[in-house]
Structure 1
Amino acid sequence: MPTTRRLLAVIAAGALSVSLAACATSERGGDAQAGATGGTMVFGAAGAPKNFDPIFNDDGESFRPIRQMYDTLITYKPGTTELTPGLATAWESTPDGKQWTFTIREGVTFTDGTPLDAAAVCANFDRWANMQGDAAQSNMIYYADVFEGFKGNGGIYDSCQAASPTSAVMTLTKNKGAFPAAFGLTAFSISSPTALKQYDADNVTQSGDSFSYPAYATDHPTGTGAFKFESYDRTANTITLVRNDQYWGEKAKLDKLVFRVIPDENARKQELTAGTIDGYDLPSPADYASLKSSGQQVLIRDPFNVLYMGINTKNNPALRDLRVRQALAYAIDRQALVQTKLPEGAEVATQFMPQTVAGYAADVQQYPYDPQKAKDLLAQAGASNLTLNFYYPTEVSRPYMPNPTDIFQLIAENLRQVGITVNPVPRPWNGGFKDDVQTAGKQDLHLLGWTGDYNDAGNFIGTFFGREKPEFGAEDPAMYAEINAADANPDQAQKQAQYEQANRDIMAKYLPAVPISSSPPAIVVGPSIQGLVPSPLTDERFNTVSKTQS
């Protein structure tokens, strides 16, 4: 038998450890073990969740409540990107990376009473791999990126077998560099097979560019997490979770956790300072000082993200000319944007991943602010009178983009200064912007970004540019092949070198988007909240939180 590469839970194989010193814990949310039990925490959400079925989501406003109700096989140590046990206590792979064996935690039950075992884990993997119809066309972005498609249609998933109640063996058709870290993705949370069947979880229907989801996703999410679903009042825009007293890990201190949707950031700030909510995510950097002076706790995460201006080459032929895309890059004063629109510690991004990720290349082609060079390139390409539809999101703040409107306005003015006519197209984040940009590809330019899910280059440039996507338009097989060759290489040194070269080529030969910045986002909570540990992955769990009762 081949020797195996043992990956015990205490090892973060290839992962970045963003460790927090013990003395810093109280400064960044307090002692997670301290505080009284009971009470209700109300968290101000910037937008409504799409639904509560993990596999059909890819955005933070949906994932935040999902993370409280579900667990993954592998997870991340609080405050870091280091791997640690979740529903699997240990995991191992064969040297070629094609087979993974998980030791399943014993004594765990889903919130509907269904026991967790290897068969339940395999049922989830099989469900994802064999998704069909409208469900397969819906927002399964994470599955499509990591598993490269569905079974029988180019996907790398082959099978999952329950070798015993505590041993699940998953087989792939090739090595995938995303693993083992990608097993911690919230999208790959493990659902109760009983509830999936009872509430017809795969019965997704499509109408135009929109999707309707079944009862499992809307009203009966069933995981193994520290909280369980109680209700979603769509009139009041509130999601209520309650403590799961049967949770296998550290039980929640709060009785209830309520997410109240408050789209306007200033309204969220006002409600926090008035004490009607207990926290919200991604406060504007301009508000840090006033929040602190009013007694709020502004908790700064370590940066692990990138903001970019995407370029869709499908609708406007001029954008297929590399010189035009380079002109767009030279036209943007990214240093001014970082200094005036982003929090302290933000940096101009030279490529589509943070410097801490293996595969980052220090010698990529640079695009410093040079409006004259931008004008010259546009003239050479015969595109001096270019008109572009620029989409940007509203009713949302993202870790890489605290105020999309402000950032859009600065970039749009830069583009106008080099002779480009900009048509602004503001769209709400869910039910508008994401559908238009990522599904329909209606835009010429757009603002978007990414917070890394785990420390692997493929999670950044592979997610963006590893396959054809409506977001960027025209197909570019050479770029896809270069990225995917690196991802499939089990030799870590070779893989890093391949990703470095891919980054050089993306910035010099392809330029499908313009990297803008990387920044340290914040999450803010009131003075009565203790124990919230900020995560570079925005992967905060609320079971450690306690609230001082007034």
Structure 2
Amino acid sequence: MKTTAVLAASVSLGLAGCATSDRTTDSGSATGSGSSTASGGAGDTFTFGAAGAPEVFDPYYASDGETFRVTRQIFQGLLGIKPGTADPQPELAESWEPSEDGLTWTFKLRQGVKFTDGEAFNAAAVCYNFERMFDQNEVAQAGPAEYWAYTMLGFKGSETESLYKSCEAKDDSTAVINLTRYTSDFPVMLTLESFSMQSPKALKDGDANNVQKEGDGFKYPAYAMAPVGTGPYKLGKYDEANKTISLVRNDDFWGEKAKTANLVFKIIPDESTRRQELEAGSINAYDLPNPADWKGLEDAGNKVLVRPAFNILYMGLNPEKNSKLQDLKVRKAIYMALNRDQLVATQLPEGAKVATQFMPDTVAGYNSSLQPTKYDVEGAKALLKEAGAEGMTLQFAYPSEVSRPYMPNPQSIADALTADLEAVGIKVEVVTKPWNGGYLDGVDNGLFDAWLLGWTGDYNSANNFIGTFFGSDVNDFHTWKTDFGKTLSKELSDANGIVDEGKRTTAYEALNQKIMEEYLPGLAISHSPPALVVGKGVDGLTASPLTAEMFDTVTVAKS
């Protein structure tokens, strides 16, 4: 999930991006613990307290977790996500098979599926969707079609060559997607909400691609607020005045029907207010409860579902702005100065752990032989002295007005790390800016010596982590400005292009070791398991490492 405003250029989502994207102490399944229920539920309605409102309901033009939380219930992709994991599973495609060179992928489609406007889902619909995503106007290319730009890189007619080449409908149940080059991200990238299948008729009738620039934002076509998918729910009403989004069950859904007839998202930006509404019974669940509240919520009879951690908190370093950071010894000294065991124990939620590398251990390519850099005050001082950097000054930035799954309280984390740095003789100049009020722009533009940021994975791929961080000539770590940056970028590109899975995994394991021991472009801090909370009488909700929960399995006990 993206952590910055520009997905294609830097490390978000906020798949809550990101959030932008964006997790284990139990199976993640909620179990009802009483007969009472929220008034928002009434047995046939599940009401979720959402932190924000979608700008559009067309997932192709979305990039934030709050939008995807809604559209995920309306749409489906060729690939889905196995509940409780980050692993792909069949959804609208029952199976898929690559050619030997990995450039041609044949998808066998589920038959008998219809969009909620009655149109048939088939191979022609798949190809229509991919061609629609590929053929975007300049406004969309530079703006809201950012997930395509991030994954497929180029559009029809653009200077950048697209990963996507073409789509062929062999017959109603067979779609073939051709790529211009191999990538380990395909087809797992198709689990992203932006690749959801939408009704070709509705897209065409709604002039869906007609995105226009409007002031500092965009003007979207009518279809963007009236989407048509194949999912277990369909859009009922978006009541902006009362800040609610109402979905209704798709009774013609091809699979098992949703357990509740109504799914309501009540928009409540403040986390403490969401808790109060849960306690009052006006909502049934909400995301990212404050870790300090977990015990109290459970003591009150609610269920806190802790997601497996699929994220990373890191300290970025900018050797171009602070020349002392060009010395590997200085970067290692700073890493040794950080008491990460204490940080995890005192500042992060239960289940958090110290990171050994820039990806979680569930991703193929994770190097299990790496050990955490040891906390060593005297060793750090010795390295700083050896590098001629005793008493160096480090400008250190952290964000305000934000809470992220990997960084629940940025100020307290920054305070702890600042104290560690000062303990080895580093003079720290602390800077803070609002998350969307200068901080992310400051990171993008290299305004800080060091900073806190993080990432929640979009999908289960090593390239989605370290390839995003260090593999392009534009990234938050500014590695293209370093002597080793071009070498690392090529090494990552080469690894991503290895078709053989075993050899590719070995290559990524070796690269993780080089990144941590030879390059050290940034400092991996920790992995934190975010949570969501459900109220009494709620059952059937499975927590997702990707924060990609489905709500069609949820039941709410009648009061």
Indicate the TM-score class for this superposition, using the shorter chain for normalisation.
0.7 to 0.9
1:381 to partner: Cα distance:
6.0
Q: Give yes or no for the alignment of 1:526 onto 2:535.
A: yes
Q: Match for residue 245 of structure 1?
A: 251
Change in CA separation of 1:218 and 1:534 when aligned onto 2, cut-off 3 Å: same
Q: Match for residue 334 of structure 1?
A: 340
Q: Give yes or no for the alignment of 1:166 onto 2:167.
A: no
Q: Match for residue 515 of structure 1?
A: 524
* Letter in structure 1 aligned against 2:521: P
8 A Cα contact 1:90 1:102, kept in partner = yes
1:98 to partner: Cα distance:
0.8
* Letter in structure 2 aligned against 1:168: A
Q: Give yes or no for the alignment of 1:181 onto 2:182.
A: no
* Letter in structure 2 aligned against 1:295: G
Q: Match for residue 505 of structure 2?
A: 496
8 A Cα contact 2:312 2:454, kept in partner = yes
Q: Match for residue 367 of structure 1?
A: 373
* Letter in structure 2 aligned against 1:512: P
CA distance in 2, matches of 1:443, 1:49: 32
8 A Cα contact 1:307 1:450, kept in partner = yes
1:444 to partner: Cα distance:
4.7
Q: Match for residue 269 of structure 2?
A: 263
Q: Give yes or no for the alignment of 1:421 onto 2:422.
A: no
8 A Cα contact 1:391 1:447, kept in partner = yes
1:531 to partner: Cα distance:
1.0
Q: Match for residue 212 of structure 1?
A: 218
* Letter in structure 1 aligned against 2:556: K
RCO greater where, 1 or 2, for CA within 8 Å and sep 6 or more? Answer: 2
Q: Match for residue 15 of structure 2?
A: none
Q: Give yes or no for the alignment of 1:309 onto 2:309.
A: no
CA distance in 1, matches of 2:131, 2:390: 50
Change in CA separation of 1:543 and 1:199 when aligned onto 2, cut-off 3 Å: same
* Letter in structure 2 aligned against 1:368: K
Aligned pairs for 1:21-170 within 5 A: 28-30=29-31, 39-49=44-54, 51-138=56-143, 140-150=145-155, 153-170=160-177
Find 1:464's aligned residue among 454, 469, 485: 469
* Letter in structure 1 aligned against 2:367: A
**Secondary structure, aligned partner of 2:265:** strand
CA distance in 2, matches of 1:329, 1:220: 50
Q: Which runs of 5+ in 1 are unaligned?
A: 1-19
Q: Match for residue 351 of structure 1?
A: 357
CA distance in 2, matches of 1:508, 1:298: 38
Q: Match for residue 404 of structure 1?
A: 410
Deviations 1:193-244 (A, max 9, x none): 3333444444445689x54251458522332222222344445443332222
* Letter in structure 1 aligned against 2:426: G
Deviations 1:37-58 (A, max 9, x none): 9532221223444543323444
1:177 to partner: Cα distance:
1.1
1:287 to partner: Cα distance:
1.6
CA distance in 2, matches of 1:374, 1:217: 58
Q: Match for residue 224 of structure 1?
A: 230
* Letter in structure 2 aligned against 1:449: G
Identify the range of structure 1 (245-254 vs 216-225) with the bigger mean alpha-carbon deviation: 216-225
8 A Cα contact 1:162 1:169, kept in partner = yes
CA distance in 2, matches of 1:293, 1:259: 25
CA distance in 2, matches of 1:309, 1:408: 10
CA distance in 1, matches of 2:417, 2:223: 38
* Letter in structure 1 aligned against 2:199: S
**Secondary structure, aligned partner of 1:194:** helix
CA distance in 2, matches of 1:249, 1:290: 38
Q: Match for residue 558 of structure 2?
A: 549
Change in CA separation of 1:138 and 1:470 when aligned onto 2, cut-off 3 Å: farther
1:374 to partner: Cα distance:
4.6
What's the C-alpha RMSD, in Å, of the aligned pairs? 3.2
Q: Report % sequence identity.
A: 44
Change in CA separation of 1:377 and 1:282 when aligned onto 2, cut-off 3 Å: same
CA distance in 2, matches of 1:367, 1:217: 52
Q: Which runs of 5+ in 2 are unaligned?
A: 1-23
**Secondary structure, aligned partner of 1:114:** coil
Deviations 1:14-63 (A, max 9, x none): xxxxxx99xx87x82149xxx99953222122344454332344443332
CA distance in 1, matches of 2:276, 2:126: 44
Q: Match for residue 12 of structure 2?
A: none
Change in CA separation of 1:393 and 1:58 when aligned onto 2, cut-off 3 Å: farther
TM-score (norm 1): 0.84
CA distance in 2, matches of 1:383, 1:139: 47
8 A Cα contact 1:440 1:470, kept in partner = no
1:145 to partner: Cα distance:
4.2
CA distance in 2, matches of 1:316, 1:50: 39
Q: Match for residue 493 of structure 2?
A: 484
CA distance in 2, matches of 1:218, 1:446: 37
* Letter in structure 1 aligned against 2:160: N
* Letter in structure 1 aligned against 2:180: T
8 A Cα contact 1:196 1:216, kept in partner = no
**Secondary structure, aligned partner of 1:421:** strand
Change in CA separation of 1:308 and 1:131 when aligned onto 2, cut-off 3 Å: farther
**Secondary structure, aligned partner of 1:544:** coil
Change in CA separation of 1:45 and 1:243 when aligned onto 2, cut-off 3 Å: same
TM-score (norm 2): 0.83
1:257 to partner: Cα distance:
2.0
**Secondary structure, aligned partner of 1:90:** strand
* Letter in structure 2 aligned against 1:194: K
CA distance in 2, matches of 1:309, 1:119: 47
